[in-house]
Amino acid sequence: MSIRARIFALVAVFAAMALAITALGLVTIAQYRDMIGEYGRAYEHTYDIERLNHLVSNVVMESRGIYSARNQAEANDFAGKLTGNLDAMELLLADWRTSKDPDDRARLKTTEPLVGKFISVRRNLAALATQRRIEEARALGLTDRADRIRFQSHLDGLVADSRKELTASQDRTAAFNADRTITFLLAALLAIVVISVVSLWLIVNFINKPLRHLAGTIIGLSEGQLDTPVPDTDGQDELAQVWRAVARLKAHAIEAEAVIEAQREADRQILLD
C-alpha cells in the first residue's frame, strides 16, 4: 500500500467516525422531534381540559350571580356572560369533533354527553333569567346540581389524567436528553480513541518505521558501508520505488569501488615493475 493510500485510509477512518456521529445526531433529532410532538399533544390535551374545566366553573359562578342578582339588569348581565361561556364550550367541543387525535376522540366520546346536558340546562337557566323568572332558574339549578357535580368530577378525573400524561411526557423527554447526552459524550470519546490509535498505528508502522529504515540504509551507504543490506522489494508504492533506487545506487557504488580497487591494483603492479 502506498503512502498516499495509507493517508487516504486514515482520512477514511476520520470520515467514517464523522458519518457515524452525524447519523446518530440525525436519528436523535428525529426521535427528539417525535418526543416534542408527543409533549406538545400532551400539553394541548391538558390545556383543553383545563380550559373546559375553567369554563364550567365560570358558568357555575355566573349561575350563582343570576340567583343573587339585585335587579333584572344584573341578572341579564350574568346571563349574557353565562351564554358566552357556553358558546366557548361548544367551540371547544367542535374542535374535538374535527380532531384526528385519538385521545381527543376518546375524550369526546366520554365527555360530550355530559357537556351537552350541562349546556342545555344552563342555556335554559339563562333564558329563564332574561325572562325575569329567577326563582324558576334557581330551581332548575338546584335540580341539576347532582348532575353538575358528577360532570365536574368527571372533568377533575380528565384533568388529573392529562396532568399525569404531561408529567410522563416531560419525564421521558428529560430522560431522553440525559441518555443522548451521555451517548454523544461516549461516542465522541470513542471516536477520539479510535482515531488516535489508528493514526498512531498507521504512522508508526507504515510511515515512521519504513522511513527510518530507509534513512538509516541511505546514511550507511553514504558513509561507505556497502555491506548495508537493502531489502529486495517488487512493490509499486513510493517506498518500494525508493528501495529499488537505493539498491541500484548500492550496486553502482559496489561496481565503482571494484573499479577503483582494480585501478589501484594496476597502479601497484606498475610501481612494482
H helices present in the chain, as ranges: 3-67, 72-98, 102-130, 134-143, 145-203, 209-222, 238-272
Q: Same structural domain for residues 108 and 184?
A: yes
pLDDT digits (tens, 9 = 90+) for 71-129: 999 999 999 999 999 999 999 888 888 888 787 778 778 888 888 999 999 999 999 99
Structure confidence at residue 239 (pLDDT):
73
Query: Rounded CA gap, 65 and 74, in Å?
Result: 8
- With H, G, I as helix, E, B as strand and everything else as coil, classify residue 118: helix
One domain, residues 189 and 202: no
Residue-level pLDDT at 79: 94
Percent of the chain exceeding pLDDT 70 equals: 96
CB distance 17 to 198 below 8 Å: no
Which of 23-37, 58-72, 102-116, 225-239 is most confident?
Answer: 58-72
Predicted confidence at residue 84, as pLDDT, reads: 95
Q: How far apart are CA 129 and CA 139, in angstroms?
A: 12
pLDDT digits (tens, 9 = 90+) for 184-220: 888 888 888 888 887 788 778 777 787 788 788 888 8
Q: How many angstroms separate the CA atoms of 23 and 17, rounded?
A: 10
Task: Supply 124's cell numbers.
Answer: 335554559
Domain enclosing residue 20, as ranges: 3-195
Tens-digit pLDDT profile for residues 146-159: 888 898 898 888 88
Question: pLDDT band at 247, cuts 50/70/90?
Answer: confident
The rounded Cα 240 to chain-centroid distance in angstroms is 49
pLDDT at res. 64: 92
Residues 175 and 208 in one domain: no
User: Is the same domain home to 237 and 182?
Assistant: no
Last residue of a domain, one of 142, 177, 195: 195
| Higher local confidence (pLDDT), 221 or 157 | 157
- Planar angle of CA 213, 217, 219, nearest 5 degrees: 115
pLDDT band for position 38 (50/70/90)?
Answer: confident
User: 162 and 46 in one domain?
Assistant: yes
What's the length of the chain? 273
Write the CB contacts of 121 (distance below 8 Å, at least 6 apart in sequence).
140, 144, 147, 148
Distant-in-sequence, close-in-space partners of 264: CB < 8 Å, separation ≥ 6: none
Q: How many domains, in total, are found in the chain?
A: 2
Q: Same structural domain for residues 89 and 55?
A: yes
Residues 168 and 40 in one domain: yes
Contacts of 156 (CB under 8 A, 6+ apart): 53
pLDDT for residue 88: 94
b/e code 149-160 from CB counts within 10 Å (16+ = b): eebbeebeebee
Q: Are residues 181 and 56 in the same domain?
A: yes
**pTM (predicted TM-score):** 0.62
Is pLDDT above 70 for 1?
no
The pLDDT of residue 250 is 77
Please give the C-alpha separations between residue 227 and each of 39, 145, 233, 242, 253, in angstroms, as whole numbers: 79, 114, 18, 18, 11
Domain identity same for 152 and 208: no
- Cα 7 to Cα 223: distance, rounded to the nearest angstrom: 33
| Residue 195 · residue 18 · CB < 8 Å | no
Q: In the prediction, which pLDDT does 273 show?
A: 62
Residue ending a domain, choose from 147, 178, 195 = 195
